[in-house]
Amino acid sequence: MLGADRKWGNDKMLRTVNLGILASALALAAAAQDTQFPAKGEQIPAPDCMNLHSAWDGLKAAPCPFDIHARWLLDLEHWRTEHRIRTGYDPARYESPALRWTQSSFIQPQMMVQDRYFYDPVAGKYTVDRYLDDVEKRYGGIDSVLVWSTYPNMGIDNRNQLDMVASMPGGLEGVRQMVADFHRRGVKVLFPMMMWDQGTRELQEPWPQAIAARMKAIDADGINGDTQDGVPLAFPLAAETASHPLVFEPEGGPTDEDVNWNLMSWGYYSYPFIPMVSKFKWMEPRHMVNVCDRWNKDHTDNLQAAFFNGTGFESWENIWGIWNGMNPRDAEATRRVGAIERAVAPFLVSPDWEPLYPMHGFGVYASRWPLGHETVWTIVNRNAYDVAGPQMDVPLTEGIRFYDLYHGDLLVPETKPGSDGLTGTLSFPIEAHGYGAILATRTEPSDEFQSLLYRMKPMTLKPLASYPHEPVILQQSLVEIARTQPVAEAPTGMVRIPGGAFDFKVHGIEIEGGDDPGVDVQFPWEDTPRRFHEKAMQVAPFFIDKYPVTNAEFKTFLDATHYAPRDAGNFVRDWKSGSYPQGWENRPVTWVSLEDARAYAKWAGKRLPHEWEWQLAAQGTDGRVYPWGNLWLPANVSTPDQSRQMRGPDPVDAHPQGASPYGVMDMAGNVWQWTDEFFDEHTRTAILRGGEYYQPQGSIWYFPPTYRNDEHGLLLLMAPGYDRSGGVGFRCVKDAK
């Protein structure tokens, strides 16, 4: 603590440090150019003397010198001043009324467009209210949303990131109405931007102008720069030129200069016991950081770091279709943290923010946020035990009152006998790994604070420790595929698969998620979704199409049935005037959804295969790696198309040497093929088999390719127009007697 070197006056604490301390601090700063406490990544550490040291560290376990906090703050202020000079500090965008919403955007999920709470594929409509009602019920609601419309599906064809937005249900007009539905509920909307997307369809205009125009067309509010360490100035300038200013939020921490125009960012933080100071928030207190830790099963560290720094939290639960939902304790903590931060938002951009305000107890840390004649403190207890009793000393001036915003109570400060009466002590409880917030005011609390006190008192009666803290893994179900009328002889164009004992062994090729529970799918014999699957099974005999369904065969179906999908987006997109291109009759039909494939199969008296049936037909019973054997032979598959266009798949009979043990053709490397569908409460997914010819280049993040019999692709499903792809076709099966 500062002790006698701290004094209070005019309702604002003024740090006063004797000239010797000041000279010492400045001398130390000069010796290190701009700081004695250099940032570690995106965070500035506390003075090391605040940490506990063991005997083997070679350091004495002594308290920090009384002046260390003042020296630390002086050093940080010196660093900030110098960095603002070095980076040409310009606060103009933070002061823009159109962009000021970022300063109170505390809770922001990344939301997959495939989330079933967001879009109802049966009704064929966006369900924004259902989505928002759910997050409000579970963890208190959100302030903005990142609508994720691209990865991991992008790259399965040559649609670029803007094409993926246009492929969403209703096209751009439907997306604009969806954005309006969020705005009606007070939620701002961001979309992602991938500068790594340089392998799909090439734009005819520069990316900054293209993105600005598309976001203006749908009335979006901002852009998340995926994998970017700062979004370049060209992008906000293009948005401003288009008369539709956008907020830019790089995934990585921006460069120091980029803070001038990147008003938001994600925080990938470290979490030592003593909270670290957000570097970019310190540089510009109006900069909003959303702390992101997507795979963590316990978000206590994330929420405490956000609350201590007065920043936000990325409440990301649907991670590429893998559900990592907040456990009830984290959800309730998010509700409480969010409620307090929204109510005190004007304080949390205070230029006089004081992190690591001196507290009485070990492991309890606070930030002080003065604003006018009032002050707010945000407090976290990093201990694994409750801390009660005296917590902090505060200035006492005439008429000042203190409120425990977390518990909704009025606090009466205690003064020690013989004290000068200028300082009092506040006592209140903070539970283990919990939160606290204090308001000091000389007037009656505002309506906003009165409302907060009223809401927080019953909300916090139940301790966070009483809420379950275990992760919840959603159970998946396999969509039933009805058997066909069995036949004894092979129908025309089909091959008999005798069935019998089969060692079904396969794994998913998702780029992320490792082998965490919830990754990939859950077959009926498994108790959770997982990436690796193996089952010794008995497969009933069946017939399978020798080749994938061709354009000519699909046209016969359309001519016979006049089939017209309700969602016609991208339907047989390669066709013109109701027919396929000349010479394409024997190529696999593509740009057909799972629903389209099922409709064809039903008309033909067939069905789509289960994945294990498809794999048995491709692999036989000897476990071979490829349909033709264990040796990779490039001539047995289509030559990969690595251009930014799609030349179209090869004819289905172009590679007879690639036949499976049963003589089934085109089982690898021409087009992916629809098989099973899985679903859980939030996501629908389809298993794709066989791989495809189209392989965009330049990034590891495109839909991954495979040729192997023991690997499957997983396509997230939203709506038929979005799900259709130039890289996906299908083949059918029929049950055998």
Determine the pLDDT at residue 64. 77
Determine the pLDDT at residue 417. 72
Q: Is 276 within a domain?
A: yes
Q: Is 404 within a domain?
A: no
Q: What percent of the chain has pLDDT over 70?
A: 94
Does residue 332 sit in the same domain as residue 481?
no
Q: Parallel, antiparallel, or unpaired for β 247-250 and 264-267?
A: unpaired
**What's phi and psi for 672, nearest 5 deg?**
-60, 155
> Where is pLDDT greater, at 516 or 506?
506
Q: Is a pLDDT exceeding 70 seen at residue 3?
A: no
The CA distance from 336 to 306, in Å, is: 13
User: Residues 558-613: pLDDT tens digits?
Assistant: 999 999 999 999 999 999 999 999 999 999 999 999 999 999 999 999 999 999 99
Determine the pLDDT at residue 50. 86
Residue 369 one-letter amino acid:
W
| CATH number assigned to the domain comprising residue 148 | 3.20.20.80
User: Residues 58-106: pLDDT tens digits?
Assistant: 655 566 787 889 999 999 999 999 999 999 999 999 999 999 999 999 9
Q: Is 445 within a domain?
A: no
The CA distance from 15 to 38, in Å, is: 22
Helix (H) or strand (E) holding 72: helix 68-86
Does residue 483 sit in the same domain as residue 629?
yes
Does residue 558 sit in the same domain as residue 707?
yes
Question: Domain boundary residue among 313, 345, 377?
Answer: 345
Torsion region of 591: left, alpha or beta (phi above 0 gives left; psi -120 to 50 gives alpha) = left
The CA distance from 601 to 623, in Å, is: 29
CA torsion angle 18 20 21 22 (round to 10): 80
Q: What is the SS3 assignment for 369?
A: strand
User: Residues 327-372: pLDDT tens digits?
Assistant: 999 999 999 999 999 999 999 999 999 999 999 999 999 999 999 9
User: Residues 22-58: pLDDT tens digits?
Assistant: 334 444 444 445 788 899 999 999 998 888 877 666 6
Q: Is a pLDDT exceeding 90 seen at residue 5?
A: no
The CA distance from 623 to 316, in Å, is: 39
Q: Is 237 within a domain?
A: yes
Question: Domain boundary residue among 283, 318, 345?
Answer: 345
Determine the pLDDT at residue 58. 62
Question: Domain boundary residue among 327, 345, 363?
Answer: 345
Q: Is 261 within a domain?
A: yes
Q: How many CB atoms lie within 10 A of CB 243?
A: 8
Q: What percent of the chain has pLDDT over 90?
A: 89
The CA distance from 528 to 523, in Å, is: 8
- Give the tokens for residue 297: 């099963």
Q: Is 690 within a domain?
A: yes
48-57: Cβ within 8 A, 24+ apart:
50/274, 50/356, 51/272, 51/273, 51/274, 52/273
Mean pLDDT score across all residues of the chain: 93
**Where are the extended beta strands (E) located within 423-541?**
423-427, 435-441, 477-478, 494-497, 500-508, 532-539
Q: What is the SS3 assignment for 611?
A: helix
The CA distance from 676 to 576, in Å, is: 30
Q: What is the SS3 assignment for 296?
A: coil
Residues 6+ apart with CB under 8 A from 82: 34
Q: What is the model's pTM?
A: 0.94
Q: Is 482 within a domain?
A: yes
Confidence of residue 300 (pLDDT cuts 50, 70, 90): very high
Q: How many CB atoms lie within 10 A of CB 482?
A: 7
Span between the terminal Cα atoms of the chain, in Å:
85
Distances (CA, A) of 265 to 96, 219, 317, 324, 612: 18, 21, 18, 22, 44
| CATH number assigned to the domain comprising residue 651 | 3.90.1580.10
Nearest to 8 by CA among 378, 350, 394: 394
Nearest to 509 by CA among 720, 724, 689: 689
What domain range is 614 assigned to?
A: 477-735
Distances (CA, A) of 60 to 48, 291, 736: 12, 34, 81
Q: Is 631 within a domain?
A: yes
User: ∠ CA(540), CA(543), CA(546), 5° rounding?
Assistant: 140
**DSSP class of 487:** B
The total domain count for the chain is 2
The CA distance from 361 to 384, in Å, is: 13
